[in-house]
Amino acid sequence: MHHIKKTFILLLTSAFLLSAVVYVSDFSFETTAFTQTWLIKVMNWTHYKVINSTLADHIQKELLFSLLPNQQIQPRGTTVAQTTDIPIYYHVAHPLNYHFILDEPDKCSQNPFLVLMVPVAPHQVDARNAIRSTWGHESSVQGKAVLTLFLVGLTGGPEAQQQLEEESRQHRDLVQSNFVDSYFNLTIKTMVIMDWLATRCSQAAYAMKVDSDMYIGLENLMSLLLAPNTPRQNYITGYLMWDRPVVRDKNSKWYVAEELYPEPKYPTYLLGMGYVFSNDLPEKIVEASKVIKPFNIEDAYVGACLKQLGIAPSSPPDPSQFRAYLEQYKREDFLRVITTILGSPQQLIDIWKDVKRPT
Ligand SMILES: *[C@@H]1O[C@H](CO)[C@@H](O)[C@H](O)[C@H]1NC(C)=O
Ligand SMILES: *[C@@H]1O[C@H](CO)[C@@H](O)[C@H](O)[C@H]1NC(C)=O
Ligand SMILES: *[C@@H]1O[C@H](CO)[C@@H](O)[C@H](O)[C@H]1NC(C)=O
């Protein structure tokens, strides 16, 4: 009798243990599978960006870092420049070092309220055309004049330059400066944008630096800018980045040498995908850049200039409107946001069409 009871308890215990093991392994398998799927998706997406855009992958890096702190995920792109080949990369970022090859000096003569400045690689015609047929097409929002311009660096050769000039004649929305257009030179591009705004468009009330792979909810952006509490000066807002550590791994494409930026962390800055500012700032930022040693992380560099100026980035009234990523398309989400990153020019066209459809 006693023996049977013991066996029974043993049996019961092992059954329990077995089911526990099955449960736990099953659970962890599912969790891992989920994480992996998600990671593959994000990394594949990063890969896609790295290959196709010299611009957008900085955003992907920030996104990955903010979603996965303490992870060192490297994009697998084959076209990624190896920082190890470049001893220490010294920029000559101040816009006075460059001049405009293509310019639209009179573009702001109609006193636009808001100017959207889009840094883009010369060959990214598809991205420009998608923007031209969507948010870049809007010239008036809530009765306020809006303008969209693209900023590019040097093309690879005379043929590409001819095509670009043809595109410029057709659309009159291209500004080109004579620096080598590359991922590492994005800080130069941003500073040239600031210079253009300061010298050709100081009459605009607000400006936005917006990447070429973005969805922009112009109505919501305009509502934000027209709200009575929105400052008209020393104002900059977007997706705030706090306490971001400087990447010191020499194999990372976001490596910044201590000689260029000695602090371990960046000052508070706005994620480069899209930040909005009062148009008194470009001139001040260009001025501050004379004393801030340039480094290749354009948005963090603007943050360093703002810190020098004693201007703190503002949190938007509704931070959830500055999105980096929306998981899947839902029209109501897009009706609410000001920014979100998209996967392709075609996606922008499709989503815009659906968001704008009458209901
Ligand atoms: C990676 O992205 C490409 C292009 O967007 C897509 O065709 C492919 O299915 C993706 N792969 C995975 C594993 O998600
Ligand atoms: C990158 O863009 C080119 C055309 O611009 C396209 O042919 C190619 O498939 C894209 N790469 C990926 C990984 O999607
Ligand atoms: C950045 O632009 C400058 C000026 O055109 C050029 O000398 C330099 O080689 C460029 N750097 C990279 C890495 O493209």
- Give the pLDDT confidence score for residue 184 in this predicted structure: 84
Distance 40 CA to ligand 1 centre (A): 9
The bound ligand whose nearest atom lies closest to the alpha carbon of 345 is 2
User: Rounded CA gap, 112 and 207, in Å?
Assistant: 10
Cβ of 48 below 6 Å from ligand 1: yes
Strand 236-237 and strand 144-154: pairing? unpaired
Q: How far, CA to CA in Å, does 15 sit from each of 2, 12, 129, 326?
A: 20, 5, 64, 44
In a mutational test of the pocket of ligand 3, which residue from 179, 181, 187 has the highest number of ligand atoms less than 8 Å from its CB? 179
- At a CB cut-off of 8 Å and minimum separation 6, what does 332 contact? none
At residue 218, the pLDDT reads 97
**Would the CA dihedral through 254, 257, 263, 267 be positive or negative?**
negative
At the topology level, CATH places domain 95-356 in Spore Coat Polysaccharide Biosynthesis Protein SpsA; Chain A (3.90.550)
The verdict on the CB of residue 76 being under 6 Å from ligand 1 is no
pLDDT in tens, the chain (359 residues): 566 566 656 655 665 555 544 444 444 433 444 444 444 444 444 433 333 343 344 444 444 444 333 333 333 232 333 333 333 344 466 777 899 999 999 999 999 999 999 999 999 999 999 999 999 999 999 999 999 999 999 998 999 999 999 999 999 999 999 999 998 899 999 999 999 999 999 999 999 999 999 999 999 999 999 999 999 999 999 999 999 999 898 888 788 888 889 999 999 999 999 999 999 999 999 999 988 888 889 999 999 999 999 999 999 999 999 998 887 889 999 999 999 999 899 999 999 999 999 98
The pLDDT score that the predictor gives to residue 251 is 83
Atom of ligand 2 nearest to the CA of 126: 5
| pLDDT at residue 278, as a whole number | 98
* Nearest ligand (C-alpha, residue 184): 3
